[in-house]
Amino acid sequence: MAKIAFKGLSEYIASLEKLGRDAGGITRKALYEGVDVTADEVRNAIEALPTDDRRGHHRRKGITSGQKKALLDGLGVAPFREDGDMINTLVGFSGYSDYATRKYPNGQPLALIARVAESGNSFTDKTPFMAPAVRKARKPAQEKMKEVFENEIDEIMKG
């Protein structure tokens, strides 16, 4: 926890006012750093996914290497959204793979590929990666956000 020493009450009040004005920016900066930790963990989980590029009618042990590459390319963070006094964002997938089918002429939706990898389907084994990655990243992301908050508050209160 940060320790703050002031010589006068007016400096303390000025620092608190600046802290109040900058609170939204500090929150956004901390959230950005925390979501970055989470996105990195999800990226690592995608890289660890098994692939199965065999053709034909058989049960696959994982997604194809092309689908895996598409997930890595399409992983992103949604823009921050303010809901009252909360700021929210999402780590997820946007876009389509390069593999076009009759049903998906623009390519397979990345969210669908991620769901198939996570939950499996009738011809692909499930390999949960999102939920474990988010659980694994939770504590490090919280620690990173706390670190950013404390550093930013120290800067304002000392400055």
* pLDDT of 116 higher than 70: yes
More confident residue, 2 or 72: 72
Helix 130-158 and helix 110-119, axial crossing angle in degrees, nearest 10: 110
* pLDDT of 2 higher than 90: no
* pLDDT of 145 higher than 70: yes
Which positions ≥6 away from 106 have C-beta within 8 Å? Answer: 96, 100
Q: Residue 4: what pLDDT?
A: 60
The verdict on pTM exceeding 0.85 is no
Q: Residue 26: what pLDDT?
A: 80
**Strand (E) or helix (H) holding 31:** helix 9-47
Confidence bin at 137 (pLDDT 50/70/90): very high
Residue 134 · residue 38 · CB < 8 Å: yes
* pLDDT of 20 higher than 70: no
Confidence bin at 5 (pLDDT 50/70/90): low
Place of tokens 């992983």: 75
Distance, C-alpha 22 to centroid of its chain: 24
Share of the chain above pLDDT 70, in %: 83
Measured CA to CA, the distance from residue 130 to residue 136 in angstroms comes to 10
